[in-house]
Every structure is written in structure tokens, then in C-alpha cells.
Structure 1
Amino acid sequence: MKGFLHLLAGGVALLVLAACVIPPVPEPEFGIVHGPPSRAFVDATHSAGIEAVHRGEFAMDGVEGYLGVGQAWGDYDNDGWVDLFVTGNLAPNVLYRNLQDGRFAESPWSDQLAFPEQVSGGAVWSDYDNDGWLDLYILNKEANTLMRNLEGQGFVDVTAEAGVGDTAKGQSAAWGDFDNDGWLDLYVVNWTCLPDCKPVDFETHQDRLYRNNGDGTFTDLSNTMARDRLLGAGFAGSFLDYDNDGDLDVYVVNDEYANPIGNVLWRNDGPGCEGWCWHDAGPETGAGIVTSGMGLAVNDYDNDGDLDMYFSNMVRPMTLLTNDGTGGFANTEDKAGVGVHENGVTGWGALFFDYDNDGWRDLFLAATTVKPRALEPGALMDMLFERQNYLYHNQQDGSFQDVTPETWKEQPRPTMGAAYADYDRDGWLDFVVTEWNEGFTLYRNQGAEGAGHHWLTVRLIGGQGVNRDAIGARVTVETEGGPVQMQEVKSGSSLGAGNELSLHFGLGSAAQATVIIVWPDGSVETHSGVVADQIWQVAR
């Protein structure tokens, strides 16, 4: 947002019309390629019974409101079907139970998570205590909340005893076992200190890293990270092994609005350094870009065996960081055609997922429009007006084709959050989005594209020193004549979101696959002749 800030003498940043003339965006080196509009997705919100609403308010100076959205998929009752939790911001949160027939019903335990007196944003599931039941971490405008799952029969607030009630303006959170001790740790991404930034209160406004002690409690290890790099206005973050060295690093997408430090790539350098060694490798790897970062997608979109990252921006083109395999990144959004070189676009949540099961991850981007609230001089700018979302089909050569459905263009919405799952267990990935101050839309993938393509969903269950969710494990799938695909199990990315923990692989025409699993402890399993078109479960 920095390009639109007019800093007043009192230090409060306002977006004013006179300072907010949006400059024309230069033409990309490679033009966007448009393909036939996709027919893959249908709006299943009503038929599925999703009726929750989102009610929010937000002032650009940070004085009022909370820019929070949350949507998280997770099988809380262990019946094999993913359930859905959504946060309402000013409206109550809702937990939906999957009825296994394409419909959802409000869970009997939804009221325990509604938080009518709270203002909730992001949410993410994980089994932090390794008891076999997914627990839920909810980010709030004030203290965040950890809700422990009582074996599918309700939830209990364990925030105080766990010690993870961070009180900053949390936007997103991610779980990952950075020390490979078999217990999931937690990184909390906080937005900004506004309106009270002079001076910044380090204790209440920085990002947080919590180490799981294995006994239901956590230790705050934020002091092991460079404090000035924890003070960005963060929107999204993810654990990932970007350098393929076997341990989880952390990438944080920051908005330059309040503190232009750039995005941060925390390289995990192992034990020591008064607790643990972390180094911001952003500047030396090309990942430390200073921009108005918003949402984040992480996956190996080009099937070359390392993790790439796509993050959204406000007004500027989006960024595609392609991993070069040596620990560095290059921004290839122009060549790939996914920058969205259009005036007034604010990108939010983003997803890498293979919607047509051809073995190559495609891309979804949630977006809104920036424009004045009113046309008189001095009018404030706003960025939450309706706009079409974007769908890009992977062309298997490093580029994407814009296949955005016509209905999305004809019926634009103020979309921010997004998360994917195969909620109806038909082998085609679906997704849900949050629309600011409106509600939620569930897009069902009807398999209209990629007909005849096979698929394989891999669900890992940890044990014997590996966290129960197997977060951080890597799965490689090989098929005859198809690409070699690699994905990493993760919890938390996009924007305030939790995708389904199982890994979905499109197999194209292949009816079987070889699956190689690298568990977080480094042990390797190879399984040949795995039959396609199934949810395949592997336990330690």
C-alpha cells in the first residue's frame, strides 16, 4: 500500500484521493494467454447448505475494524470426510459437519467455536497433541484461541494452559515441526501496529514462533529470530522446506503499508543460538521482496522437485517465485502470465491445485478492486469492492493460460480467503472462498475438464517420532509417461486458511503410480503399483 500513502504530521497514514491516482501498469514482457473459459466449477453453496455470513469493517488507517477472514477444512470427527470451519469476523463463526452426500449441517459443537463476543479471522486445523483428533487454532482481533478436540464430542479452550494466546492482530497461522521432535510448532503472522506505532510495542505486535513442548504447553521462541524482521505487517505465512535440506523453514508475506521490511524467508539453521538458529535468507535468495504482499500459495507448480511460491499484492502485479533448485528464486510472473497486469487489482488468497487432474498444479487467485469510496476530493480509498477472481490453467511449460469462467466476470464478488479440499470424495478438488462483508461460496468441481483423468489422494498418519498429521512429509508420485510430482504436507497458507491435509495428485491417463514417501524424520518408503482413483492411507 505504500505507493498510496500520504503520511500526515501526526504519523497516521491515510489513503487520500489526491495521493491515490493509480499509475498505469507497464505491459508484461510476455502477454497473458487466454483460453476457453473453464466449466469445471459450479456454485454449490445453496445445495450444500452453507449459510454462514461474514460481517466486517475496516478503516485504512488501522483505527477501526479488523481485516480478518478464515476458512479451514479438517475432518474433526474422524469419519473420513472433511468438515468446514468458517469465521464470521463480526458475525459468529460456524463449524459445518460433512453429511457425506454433498451437503453440510451445522455441527452440534458449532456454538463452542462461534465466539459471538470475539472478532475472528484466520483459522487452521492440526493435531498439536498427537492424540489422533484435529484441534483448531483461531486468530482473533485480540487474543487468539486454541480449541482442543474432545475426540469428536466437542471442544475445550486450552489457550491459557498452552500459552499461545497471542494478542496482536493475527491474520494467518501455520503449523510445522521445525525441530523434528514429533510435535507440531506454531508460527503466527500478525498484521500491523496501527494506529499506535510510535513507538512499536514489540511484545504485542511482532510475529510469534511457539515451540511445542510435547506436554500440552508451548514455549515462545520468537526471541531466537531477529526482532526487526518480526515486525512486518504480515498477512500470510507457511512452513516449507525451500532448500531441500530436510528441515522446515518459514516464509512470511508482509504488507509494506506500516513497516516496509519486505517478505521474510526464515531459513532453519538448526539448534544453537540460544534456542534455535534462524536466518532471514530473503535478500540473498530473491524472496525478500518489498511490496504490498497479501496471500500465499506454496507448491511445486513446474514439477521440478522443489517448492515454488506465488503471492498476491495490492495494485502491483502478483509475484511468482520460481525455485531454481539451488536455494534461490526468480520472479517469473511475466513469463508465466499470472501477474494480473490490470489497474486497481488487490489480490488476496491464492491456491496451487490440480483442478483437471492432469498432473500439473493450476492457480486460483481471489481478488477485489481498489477505488475511492466516494468521488469527492479527499475521499478515502478502499480495496474491498467486488471484482472477478482468476483461474489459470498450467500449460506444463512454465506458463499458465487464463481460463477464468465467464460467470466470475459477470458476477464479481469481494473475495478474500480461499481453501481447497475434495469435500465430496469424487476425486476432483473443490474450494471455498470468503467474500468480505457478505458470506461464503462453495465451488464444486464437476469434473467437466480432464474427463477420463485418474487421481490419487495420499493421506499420511504419523507415529514413531513423526507428528500425527505428518506435516513436513514429502510425497513423490511417478507414473509411466507422466510428470514426476512432489508435494509437501502443510497446514496453513493462502490467507487465514487451511487446505485439506491429504495430498491430491492428478494422474492423467495413468491407472497406477509409484509413490515415494519421505517422512519428516528422513525415513523413506517406496510403494509400487498403487492403484489410481482412491484415497490411499499410509500410517507409520
Structure 2
Amino acid sequence: MTATQPLSSHHNRRRFLLFGLLVAAVASVVVAISVLSKNDVPAEELLQAGTQAFDRGDYNVALASAVEVLAVQPKNAQAALLAGESAAGLQRFDEALEYLERLPDDGSAEAVSARCAAGKLLLLGMQRLSPAEQQFRRALDQDPENIVAHDHMAFLLGLGSRNWELIPHRLAIIRSNRFNSLHLYVLCFGDDVLENPELVEQYLAVTPDDPVLLTAVARIAVEDGEYGRAKQLLRQVVRSHPDVVEAQVKLGRLLWETTDESEFVDWHAQLTESANSHPGIWAIRGAWADRQADVPVSIRCYWETLRRDPNHKQANYQLGRLLGSLGKNQQASPFLERSRLLQLYANTVKVAHTDRDATAAKKAAELAESLGLLWEAYGWSQLSLQHDPQTDWAARIVSRLGPKLPTLPPARTVPKSNLALEIDLSEYPLPRWSSQGIDKTKPGAPKGPDAGVAFVDRASEAGLIFRYDNAAKSPELGPMRMNEFSGGGVAVLDFDGNGWPDLHMTQGCSWPPQEENFDLIDRLFRNDGNGRFEDVTEHAGLANNGFGQGVTVGDFNADGFPDLFLSNIGRNRLFQNNGDGTFSDVTDAAGIGGERWTTSSLLADLNGDGLADIYAVNYLSGSDVFTRICGTPEKPGICLPQSFPAEQDRLFLNLGDGRFEDVTEATGIVVSDGKGMGIVAADFDGSGKLSLFIANDTLPNFYLANQTTDHRGPPIFTERALPIGLALNDRGRAEACMGIATGDANSDGLLDLFVTNFLKESNTLFLQGAGQMFLDATRKAGLHEDSIGTLGFGTQFLDGNLDGNLDLIITNGHIGEFTETGDPYKMPPQYFHNMGEGRFVELKGRSLGPYFQDKYLGRALAKVDWNRDGLEDVVISHLDSSAALLTNTTSDAGNFVAIRLVGVESSRDAIGTTLTAEIQGRKLVRQLTAGDGYQASNERRVVFGLGDRQQIDVLNVRWPSGSVQRFENLPANSELLMVEGRTYLRLVQPE
């Protein structure tokens, strides 16, 4: 981003120009000097004449006048300052520095001006950061309030990616009222902002060994995903300048991210005492201890972090999570709440700065004050007054806080708002790490086996001809309006009961939607069992002409035939399967209308009464959400989701007579600030109840824990994402979350969650541990680096080669055309092979097949075994091209057992049923879940990959009703139908 630049020095008329100089002729200088000498002009007059010459740009005359005075009065401070600035104006930089260094650091105005002049010369003229920093620090030692020095120090430290150190300087700029919204934005986002990255390489060319610049280059390398280069640069800085704490912080962070235990401990051992003052060092210690499962040490380290920086997002979030894991909920709650408010504040600041939004500026000021960020509260209020002097709320805040600023310490947060100073956690132990007993052998990156996993897109030859229309007026320019980026959904269902999975694809329409226009409608493709799909939309009566988003499948009336709930922008639709190959639109009779933007949804029994309820995940609202275009007149583009308010999700309770009741307000799901994109329903805790995980865009995720006790009434939920570790990533930051996959990634018997995110955020793997606590294990799993450069949408766990380990498949693509910033638009899909115990390695496109070598704008992704060969296939919708039917052609795949479930005491769909297979001493746990992530609905079956084993020895089944069944000796390569309560299994034979 383009960040803050040094402001001009309004109070000092003597300024030197670094470029475009107008140099006077030498002859005129000689004449001027001779005239002054002959008249024996006093020093004061010489200086006055020199100053006037300087102001008109005649630096030769100005320099000559100053030199003449210095010849007689070598210690004349004004003359030395004028000589230095005049020489700088002539670009004689070394000479200028010599003159400026003649002034001693005696606290005089001339001494301070000399230090600032030398600093500006070094910074802007000679492009030497470290010497410039020394000059500005000397200026501030003599004049702590000098705004010129503070201004340039903020620019210099920002350029060097030293965001912790620059805070006092930014606050001084606020105090001087010489700031803009960019200053406040950078102050809020800190290390998440790159300031003037285009200048770093330019400066580095002049001083290639400057540790400040090398640290900044390393930060840019991390942003670009070049972790090896970043680590090499930081090692170079730390070896030569171990006291450059910012480099130590960045290197420690990288070592933690790459999970190099031996090198991390060695790095920690060489830290100097000065490193302890930086909150980033303590945060890294906390993260490392957490990874080692040393909760007490992790708590102490995160507490030490917050003593130094109460706004550290990661420390607030992780400290609250860890305290909660020990049952210290009273201590945990304030840190978790601060974490939530800090994220809300960051989102609000982004809108206030980017959109120049007055409402967001007011909210930012109010949030800042509530967090104890009084400087920033004053700043947003002052900017609002500058924009509109009649803004009453801003005037009140300025009048209240303005007089307090001179008495505040140079820190973002006032001491009384620092939770770590109020809650004493000093009883927890400090870290004591040593390299003894650590294996010094450096583990290489896991190498993908010759698993033979491969896919072929057979959509065209199978007759699956479908392309989503997003109503973009200029498709080649990419999405412009918000409704144009999300794409369509995919559902798998056997609607006619012939044993072969069929496909439903949602479609967009012309914008705005017109009720009488049926040119574009959703499509239902019937699988004929002979390798072909037939479009049977008209015959089936599925005339959904809304602006389609997601789709979900479920048997809401428990008649044995799967029904469809279609998510639209506008009115959602419920289609009942009549059992004869046709559907009826029962939306009105069901009572589930409403004009909202629903992205994803699910049909599942949420209150345990045996009937499938509807949960609709809603995204954005606002009067202009579908009309506003952002960007610039030259380059219009799509807006940020932060620019619009969230739309509340809805929950419809199945009444059992074909009607549904909107029970949203009574269920505990009314939670502010949720912009939902994906959803999964699963029994995460073994209670038999379905809890909900919702992926929110740019806001903390939701985990709605099912607390229902009365099956006769609405389900009751409690939002618990923050305390159990699912709201934010491991650094305490909300991400632009899209798709969700759920499964047992590390084979420990617990359900885990994988979430796709925005470009440069990396996807996130949340591993479930004891006590239903989740840990961000993305880096340890090998899933971080390879997802930094992608923007993920649909994703699923699947066992591609049937070895018993769940792999990951992801479809990627940007939301808009941003190639001018260097961002990719279309992106290749990705496949990550599970090497065992939750360690993944990306398989490359060449081995996977031609589809993985191309680039797309991928959106929804659903699992299906469309050809019934036991290998899981996927169907993917795109924004820019026809849908793909990726057929699994893996060579040397293992054996399998596939199971279809029918509930009796439980709901017909049996969502939440957990199956545990014992296979020659190995245990595999699978669960039938619903929601299936981003705008998708998977085939309703459970697959066990057996490898070379010939049977499942024992299969234990726990139904949502609580009943448990046991089966033995299930033969490999069979598809079985399991009905709750029956003691026998039926082999499924396709018609």
C-alpha cells in the first residue's frame, strides 16, 4: 500500500530541495562575495543576505555568505546551519553533513534544526536510513516534542517495517493535528501493513547492508510467500546486528511458522536482554509454548505480551482461549471480549479510511474510546470535524479528549484499559528452554508418494453442460457489483431413487431479477447409470428463476425422497420431492419466504425431534448492496464486504405438517456481525446434538453450540467460537472465510475443520483436541505456504486413493480483477495429499491431470461418486466457465466400504451419525454431516478407505438418537445400506 510520507516543515522557512535545482552561475557568486567583503559587512547582515538567497533558491550565494561568517566565527550556529542546508541544496551532501555536524547537541533551536536537516538529507537525499535515524533520535533527545523529527521517524520506521517502535511518533503527529486517516489506519493495523514497499529496494541499492532495510525486504518477502529468502535475510541481520529487535521478532516468527524446533531454541538462546522489551518476542514465546502443549508457560508469555501491548490481537485471543481451557473463565472472558472488539475496530477503521465513511468514522471513534485508544478516538473525531464542522458527536469527543492528550503517555492505550495490569498472572512460569534432547536433524519437507491420485474432467462427455451466469455487464472486467462474485451452488441427490447420484446446479439471472423471466433457471441433471447425465429440469418442475446461490438437500417430510432448499439473493425456495420424478414448489405453504441474501444453507434436525429444520446463512444487507460500485472512475471494481452491514441468519423450525416457523429470535443465533459464506452441521462433541460452524467473511467465525434439552421446542444455541478457538486464526485475526470441510484430519477420532480464506491469508486447519478446544495447526500440517497465493472457495475432505487418510481438494479464484496490483485473477485448483497424522503435501497439476494445470474462477465444490466405482469424485461450479465433473482415475487405489444411512428414531437423513471402523488394529472415524461448506451439498454416504485390507473387522455406529449398533466383518469394495435399529445390512445394487 502507499503509506504515510513525511509532512513539510511549516514553521521553518529554510528548506533544501533535493531535486530540480536551479544553480546560479559561479560568476555572480564571486561578485556578490567581493561586494560584501569590501564593505566589511557584519556577520548578522551576511547571514540575513544568505538566508534571503537561500529562500529564493540561490544556494551558491547562501553558501558563500555562510562560509564567510564561519571563517571569522567558526562556532556560529546559524552560519553552520545555513551552510549545511545550502550545500544540501547544491546536492553536495557530504559537505553539508560536515557543516551540520559543527553544531553541538546543546539543546538550542539551531542544534535541533541541524539534526533534522541532517536527518532529512540522509533519508531523502542520500537514502541512508540508519544514519538518518541516528540524526532524528539526536534531535528528539534535545527536543522531545519536535514534530519534524517525529514525522520523519514515523516515515523511516514504517519503511523499515518497525511498527512497534513508531507508535510514539505517530501519536506525536496526532497531537500536532497534522495527520490524516492513513496515519490512523497504519496505527491500527501495524504489522499487517507494508509501508512504501516500492521504496525499499530503491534504498537498498544505495546501502545494501543496512539492517533496517534488510529487515524490511524480509517482511516483503514474507508477504510474497518467499519464506526461504526472508529467513536468509533475517539471519544475516541477526548475525551482524543482534540488537535489531524487529529482525529478531520476524526471524522468530518465521522459525515458529516453519516448525523448526532445533533452530527455534538456538535462536531463542541468542536473544539479548533488550529483546524482552518487545511484545512480539513474548508472543512468539507464547505460541511456541502452546505448540509444545505447555499451557502454563504459554499463558505467562501471552500475559507478558499484553503488559507491553494490550492491543496484541494474537495474545488477547490465545490468552483467553488458554485460560478457558483451564476452566478460568472469569479471567478468560475480558481478554476474549477485547479480542473481539479489536477485530471489530480494525474492520471499522478499514471502512472509515477506504470509503471515507462518516458513519464508520463515528463507530471507529466510539470503539477506540471504549478500548482506551484515546489518541485514535480523538483522531477520528478530529478528522470528522474537519470534514463537517457541524458534527456534534465529534465535537463532544474532541472537547472531552483534547485537553487530556498532553498528559497521556506515548502509548496507544491508557494504562487503566490494560487488562494485563489489572489481572495478575505472574504465578505462571517463565520459559526455560534448552536444546538438550532435541533432534538436530533437520526434517525435510514431506515428499508426496507416488499415490497415483488423478482426476479427469468428464463433464462434457457425460452431458453435464452447465455454465453459471452472474449477470455481469462486462464479464471480461470481472465482477463489479457485490452479487456478481459469489457464483452458484452444487448439490448431489438421488432424486428418483435409482441408486445413481444426480446433480442440481443453481443459476443466476439477469439483474435485477424479474419474476416473469425464465430465460435462466436452475438445472437438474439425472444420472442414467450409463455414464451420462440428462437435463430433466422441465420435466421435474424445478423452475427456480431467482438469482441462485447455494443449495442443500434433505428429506424435510421424512418420506424417503430428498427435497431441495434453494438459496437465492431475494426469495429462497423449498421444493418438495413428490417421489415420481417431479418436485413441487412449497415455499409459500412452508412459510419460509423473505427477501435476503442467502449464500449457504442446510436441512438437518437441529432440535432432535426427528424432523429436518432449515438454517439459512445470510451475507450482506443495505439499500445499495447490489448497486454500489467502488474503485475509481478509471478502474471501477467490486466493493469490500466491510462496506456493508451484515444480514442476520434465519432458522426455520419444522412443525411436521409441511409448515416451518421462523424461530430465529428464540434460538440464540442472533449474533451481531456475521457475514456468513459457508456452514457445516455436525456432532462435534459426541452429545448426539448438531452444532453449527459458520464461516464469516472478514469477521470472526461462529460456532453455535447446541444446548437443546426440550425436543418439542426450538433448538437452543450458544455462540462459543472465541473460547474454543474457532473464531480467529492463530494470530488472533479474522479472515475472509469462504468454504468449510469437516473430517478427522489427523486420525485421532475427533472432527476437525478446514476453512478456505482470502488471498495472502492462507487457509486454516483447526484441529480439535481435548475438551472440545480447537488449535490452528495450519503451519504444522504443511498447509500454510501453499495457500498464501490463492483465494479459496469450495473445499472438501476426501480419501482420493482410499488409503484411510483424508486428503483435501480446494477450488480457487479471485472475487474481482485486480491484476494492476499484481494479484492473480484466475487460479488453479489444489489437491493436498494426507501423509498421515494430519501432515499434508500438495500434489502438483501435472500428476493430477490436465484440469489441475489450468486456471479458473472456482466457487462451489461437492463430493460425489457419480460412476459408482468406489472412488470419490467432485463436481465444481465456476464463475467464468462450464462446471467440471472431476472423475477420480487414481491408479492402484485401495479397497473401500461405502455406507448409506437411514434414520428411524433419528431423523431420516441421519445427519450426525458417527461410525468407527476397526481395520486390523487401525481405527477410522467418519461422520455423516450436513451443510458441506460453501453453497454445496455432498452425496449422503460415508466412505472408508481400507488400503490393501480386505474388510472392516468391526464397525460401531452411534446414531443421533443415542442408540449404538455393532457390525462385524464388512467385506471390502461394497456399498451397504444401514437402517437404524436393524441388525443386518443390505448390499446396495444400482438399478
SS of the equivalent of 1:168 reads: strand
Q: Distance in 2 between matches of 1:460 and 1:353?
A: 18
2:701 alignment partner in structure 1: 263
Segment drifting more, 217-226 vs 154-163: 217-226
1:243 aligns with 2:685: yes
CA deviation vs aligned residue, 1:109-145 (integer Å, no higher than 9, x gap): 46632434x2111111111100111100111111110
User: TM-score, normalization: structure 2?
Assistant: 0.49
Give the Cα separation in 1 of the matches to 2:661 and 2:784: 40
| Match of residue 603, structure 2, among 156, 175, 183 | 175
AA in 2 matched with 1:92: I
CA distance change for structure 1 residues 287 and 305 in 2, over 3 Å: closer, same or farther? same
Give matches, 1:337-352, under 5 Å.
Answer: 337-341=782-786, 344-352=789-797
CA contact (8 A) 1:393 1:402 kept: yes
Cα distance change on mapping 1:33 and 1:169 into 2, 3 Å: farther
Distance in 1 separating the partners of 2:671 and 2:468:
32
RMSD: 2.9
Q: CA offset at residue 332 of structure 1?
A: 0.6
What SS does the corresponding residue of 1:333 show, helix, strand or coil?
coil
1:320 to 758, 765, 769: 765
Which whole-Å CA distance do the structure 2 matches of 1:20 and 1:524 have between them? 60
SS of 1:326's partner is helix
- The one of 520, 533, 540 equivalent to 1:104 is 533
- Residues in 2 aligned to 1:382 and 1:93: alpha-carbon distance in whole angstroms: 32
Q: Structure 1 CA distance, aligned partners of 2:886 and 2:754?
A: 21
Among 199, 215, 224, the residue aligned to 1:24: 224
SS, match of residue 283 in structure 1: helix
Q: Distance in 2 between matches of 1:254 and 1:490?
A: 19
Distance in 2 separating the partners of 1:363 and 1:68: 21
Question: 1:34–1:346: structure 2 CA closer, same or farther, 3 Å change rule?
Answer: farther
Greater RCO structure (CA 8 Å; 6+ sep): 1
Partner of 2:504: 85
Query: Superposed, which structure 2 residues align to 1:24-423 within 5 Å?
Result: 24-25=224-225, 27=227, 28-30=257-259, 33=446, 35=448, 39-57=453-471, 65=484, 67-90=486-509, 91-107=520-536, 109=538, 112-116=541-545, 118-194=546-622, 196=624, 205-226=647-668, 229=671, 231-256=673-698, 260=699, 262-271=700-709, 275-289=714-728, 290-315=734-759, 316-341=761-786, 344-369=789-814, 372-373=817-818, 375=820, 385-406=825-846, 407-408=850-851, 410-423=853-866
Amino acid at match of 1:418: L
Q: Does structure 1 retain, via aligned residues, the 8 Å contact 2:804–2:945? A: yes
Give the drift of 1:276: 4.2
Q: For 1:475-529, what per-residue CA distance to the aligned partner results, in whole angstroms no more than 9, with x for missing partners?
A: 1111114x31122212321310010101111111221112211111000010111
The 1:128/1:66 distance shift into structure 2, 3 A limit, reads farther
Matched, 1:532 2:972: yes
> 2:549 is aligned with what amino acid?
G
C-alpha distance 511-37 of structure 1, shift in aligned 2 (>3 A): closer
Please identify which structure carries the higher strand content: 1
In terms of fraction of residues, the more helix-rich structure is: 2
Q: Is the contact between residue 187 and residue 210 of structure 1 (CA under 8 Å) also seen in structure 2?
A: yes
> Residues of 2 paired with 1:222 and 1:479: CA distance?
44
Deviation of 1:87 (Å): 1.4
Q: CA deviation at 1:25?
A: 4.5
- Deviation of 1:469 after TM superposition, in Å, equals 1.2
The equivalent residue for 2:891 is: 448
Give the direction of change, closer, same or farther, for the CA distance of 1:130–1:409 in structure 2 (3 Å limit).
closer
Classify 1:207/1:474 alpha carbon distance in 2 versus 1 (closer, same or farther; 3 Å).
same
Q: Partners of 1:200 and 1:345 in 2: how far apart?
A: 24
The one-letter code matched in structure 2 to 1:24 is: D
Compute the displacement of 1:150 (Å). Answer: 0.8
Please state how far the C-alpha of 1:196 moved relative to its aligned partner: 4.7
Kept in 2, the 8 Å contact 1:63–1:194? The answer is no
Partner Cα distance (2:457, 2:600) in 1: 26
Aligned to 2:930: 491
Q: What is aligned with 2:4?
A: none
Find the aligned partners of 1:286 and 1:88 in 2 and give their Cα distance: 36
Farther-moved stretch of structure 1 (428-437 vs 21-30): 21-30
Look up the equivalent residue of 2:542 and give its one-letter code: L
Which of 902, 915, 920 aligns to 1:461? It is 902
CA distance in 1 between counterparts of 2:197 and 2:864 reads 38
Distance in 2 (alpha carbons) for counterparts of 1:447 and 1:501: 22
The structural deviation recorded for 1:19 is: 11
Give the CA deviation at 1:369.
Answer: 4.0
Q: Kindly tell me: are residues 333 and 409 of structure 1, through their superposed partners in 2, closer, same or farther at Cα, counting changes over 3 Å?
A: same
Report if aligned partners of 1:57, 1:66 keep a CA contact under 8 Å in 2. no
| Cα drift, residue 457 of structure 1 | 0.6
- Distance change in 2, residues 1:38/1:469 (3 Å): same
Q: Structure 1 CA distance, aligned partners of 2:464 and 2:789? A: 30
2:915 equivalent among 475, 485, 501: 475
In the other structure, the counterpart of 2:432 is none
Amino acid paired to 2:502: D
Give the CA deviation at 1:440. Answer: 0.3
The answer to whether the 8 Å contact 1:34/1:402 transfers is no
Change (3 A) 1:343 1:299: closer
The percentage of counterpart residues that share the same residue type is 27
1:414-441 superposed Cα distances (whole Å, 9 cap, x missing partner): 1111001111111111111011132200
Deviation track 1:432-461 (CA, whole Å, cap 9, x = no partner) reads 1011132200011123142xx210111111
Residue number in structure 2 paired with 1:518? 958
Range with bigger deviation, 285-294 or 52-61: 52-61
Matches of 1:413 and 1:119, distance apart in 2:
21
Cα 1:448–1:37 shift into 2, 3 Å? closer
Structure 2 unaligned segments of length 5 or more: list them: 1-180, 183-194, 199-219, 228-256, 260-443, 473-477, 510-519, 626-641, 729-733, 981-991
- Tell me the alpha carbon deviations over residues 84-118 of structure 1, each in whole angstroms, 9 at most, x when there is no partner: 111122343211111112211112646632434x2
Does the CA contact (< 8 Å) of 2:490 and 2:862 recur in 1? Answer: yes
The SS at the match of 1:141 is strand
**In structure 2, how many angstroms separate the alpha carbons of the residues matched to 1:20 and 1:462?**
59
Q: List gaps (5 residues or longer) in structure 1.
A: 1-5, 8-17
Larger Rg: 1 or 2?
A: 2
The structure-2 alpha-carbon separation of the partners of 1:34 and 1:94, relative to structure 1 and needing over 3 Å to count, comes to: farther
- Secondary structure of 2:796's aligned partner: strand
Tell which deviates more after alignment, 192-201 or 25-34: 192-201
- In structure 2, what is the Cα distance between the partners aligned to 1:104 and 1:538? 27
Paired residues of 1:55 and 1:438 also in contact (CA < 8 A): no
Letter in 1 for 2:804: G
| Equivalent residues of 1:319, 1:339 under 8 A apart | yes
Distance across 1 between alignment mates of 2:456 and 2:966: 37
- The 1:68/1:110 distance shift into structure 2, 3 A limit, reads farther
- Residue 941 of structure 2 corresponds to residue 502 of structure 1: yes
Partner of residue 15, structure 1: none
Given residue 159 of structure 1, which amino acid in structure 2 is its aligned partner? T
